[in-house]
Chain A
Amino acid sequence: MTMVVTSATPSRVERIVNRVIGVSRRSVVASIGVVILSAFALIAIFGPALVGVDPVHPYLDAILAPPSGRFWFGTDGNGMDVFSRVIYGTRFAFGIALPAVAVSLLIGVPIGLVCGYIGGTIDEITMRVMDAVRIFPTIILALAVVAAAGPSLINVVLVIGILDAPVFVRVVRAEVLALRSSTLVESAVAAGNPTWRILFVHLLPNAIQGATAQVAVRAAWAVRISATLAFLGVGIQPPTPEWGAMIRQGAELMSGGQWWVAVFPGCALILLVFGFNLLGDGLQDILDPRRKVSAR
């Protein structure tokens, strides 16, 4: 890549463009991920206002209509506009993924910090509990919880968030273990820091790299799981425009030749998960302290 934008005295626009190019050179993978996610974020924020078509309005004269000038993605079995539903569904995708990851972080990071630093029996017991949570088949557990507590958005977010916390516990704990006997911690102890300051002022900012890279990866997972739950009939229910539910409805119609009902939300799902995964991969690359970016 030999993109260079230079001039004698760069204007403000040129400087911004250069900064974007400079940062994205660090990882092409992460940059593509950011582009994809930004596109989806814009769709989630502005899309519904621009679309104008009500996603749950049944066009009874055009049930299962194939893609056309009037309905870009066709209509589904209830006559609802697939395009509009895919756009609105973006909000649900983000609205589940991001809070779920936030829950995982809020639970997982403090536990990882404490277990890594204190060690001993507390660490052993906690890690065994975390192992148990991770081993358990997530879908089954999620199904059980949602079936018992009701298929509301909050329940889905909490279940996914709690079930994914062990990943962050493990990642943060590993970095804390490495830092525990380092000069950094010795110096902090020698200065007279109490344990809570050592954990949150000195260890946390320096043990967070692995977790940061995991955030994007876990977000991808959260989107998939919520779509799967909806697909299985738990979680979000139709006619709410959630991609998983849409795919479920569309799956039955595939054999009948009405491919557009499942394929468009399916593609959207794949693309969003892809974007998150690229960003996660790229971040892991960027945050690797051994990297050097060379000019080619």
Chain B
Amino acid sequence: MAEAAKNLLDVDELVVHFPTGRAGQVVHAVNHVSFAIAASQTLGLVGESGSGKSTIGRAITRLIQPTSGHIRFDGLDVAKMTPAAFRPLRRDVQIVFQDPWGALNPRLSVRRLIEEPIALHMGMSASDRRAYADDVAKRVSLSTQLLDRYPAELSGGQLQRVCIARAIATSPRLIVLDEPTSSLDLSVRAEILHLLAELKRDTGVTMLFISHDLSTIKLICDKVMVLYLGSVVERGDTQDVFGNPAHPYTQSLLSAHLSADPRQKMNRHVLKGEIPSAIELPPGCNFAGRCPVALDTCSLQRPPLLPVQGGEHLAACHRISDGGNRLVLAP
């Protein structure tokens, strides 16, 4: 999608397939996904298990090798780079994981963990590095007392701050966040989201925010992309997608969310069945098997990603043209 401003990240026809060990069989994790993120924007990637959202995050940060497609970071295609060639770029592309306990080496002190990316990319003297790490810790509201402790002594929220500190230490231009608050308690989630919003405001960093939690996405993302079984089903500005969801899956997903308010009546469409296997993709639309408004054509032809009402809100559904994509939500 050609945009007037230059995009920081441009993903074109990304395909990631994993071997299953059986000859001829692959897991179709990501199938021809294309999107772009403009500088300083936050794009949300929403989906359930098998949607490919985490895989996309790892492909962009080259923790896995894409099967085909292009990943252009500021114009430079990194999809086919060797790990060694990509390593210097890690200064500019960082990632925060879902599990802060698992992501931090328990044998290293918090200070050494924060200093690590600085030491790897920023060529400073030891004392400069120390002062710089103190500064980064302050920016994530991590008390300097904690710097000399070890991960086992910190709480989940504090550990995730350490992970964010590691991610921002080199002032990267793009940060991928893979479910950064899903393992944390409610009150801690709020703090971390506030922290991320502040970082966004103060540094203008571009973010790719991966989550299955719609209310979190709504809070922090400018644009959102909905994935199902490795393909994009809907994409656009957050208020468009949340306010006027076009794809039946998006509508169902939004309706399934339980609000923390008993007065709000549940108005849901409960989908039948489960997410099918990604090894043998159904022909036509991936969602046809569970879609309440599917027609015969839906199982035969893959729907293209087209604008819903002109503009930048896109969805991939055959029924949009005849208006049959609206789900009736029962209380």
Contact = CB atoms under 8 A, between A and B. Distances in A.
B95 A193 contact: no
A188 B61 CA distance: 12
Contacts of A206: 105-107
Interface in A231-268: none
Interface stretch (B86-94, B200-208, B278-286): B86-94
8 tightest Cβ-Cβ pairs between the two chains A and B: A183-B102, A192-B90, A187-B103, A205-B107, A192-B120, A183-B103, A191-B117, A190-B95
Given A182-B102, A183-B99, A184-B102, A190 B107 contact: no
A186 B107 CA distance: 16
B63 interface: yes
B297 to A, nearest CB: 41
B12 interface: no
Interface in B96-115: 97-99, 102-108
B72 interface: no
Contacts of A184: 102-105
A25 interface: no
Given A187-B104, A206-B105, A206-B106, A193 B120 contact: yes
A202 interface: yes
Contacts of A287: none
A105 to B, nearest CB: 18
Contacts of B107: 205-206
Contact of B94 (A190, A194, A205): A190
A190 B94 CA distance: 7
Contact of A192 (B58, B87, B98, B103): B87
A296 to B, nearest CB: 25
B120 A186 contact: no
A202 B120 CA distance: 14
Interface in A119-144: none
B63 A189 contact: yes
A201 B88 CA distance: 19
Interface residues of B, number: 26
A192 B117 contact: yes
B319 interface: no
> How extensive is the interface on chain A, given as a class?
10 to 19
Interface string A137-158: 0000000000000000000000
8 contacts: A183-B102, A186-B103, A190-B63, A190-B90, A191-B120, A192-B120, A205-B107, A206-B106
Contacts of A201: 105, 108
Given A182-B102, A187-B104, 17 more contacts: A183-B97, A183-B98, A183-B102, A183-B103, A184-B102, A184-B103, A184-B104, A184-B105, A186-B97, A186-B103, A187-B166, A190-B61, A192-B90, A192-B117, A193-B116, A193-B120, A202-B105
Contacts of B98: 183
B121 interface: yes
Nearest to B61: A190
B170 to A, nearest CB: 8
A188 B116 CA distance: 9
Contacts of B99: 183
Interface in B52-104: 58, 61, 63, 83, 87-88, 90-91, 94-95, 97-99, 102-104
Contact of B166 (A182, A191, A202): A191
Given A190-B61, A191-B90, A205 B97 contact: no
A192 B97 contact: no
A205 B107 CA distance: 7
Nearest to B107: A205
Contact of B116 (A186, A191, A205): A191
Contacts of A189: 63, 83
Nearest to A204: B107
B89 to A, nearest CB: 9
Interface in A173-204: 182-184, 186-194, 201-202
Contacts of B91: 192
A186 B120 CA distance: 16
Interface centre among A183, A187, A189, A205 (most CB of B within 10 A): A187
Interface centre among A182, A190, A205 (most CB of B within 10 A): A190
A276 B269 CA distance: 65
Nearest to B176: A190
B190 to A, nearest CB: 24
A133 to B, nearest CB: 30
A202 B151 CA distance: 14
A145 to B, nearest CB: 38
Contacts of B95: 190
B121 A192 contact: yes
Interface in A201-227: 201-202, 205-206
A182 B58 CA distance: 13
A207 to B, nearest CB: 11
Interface centre among A188, A189, A194, A201 (most CB of B within 10 A): A189
A184 B116 CA distance: 14
Contact of A194 (B87, B104, B117): B87
A293 to B, nearest CB: 16
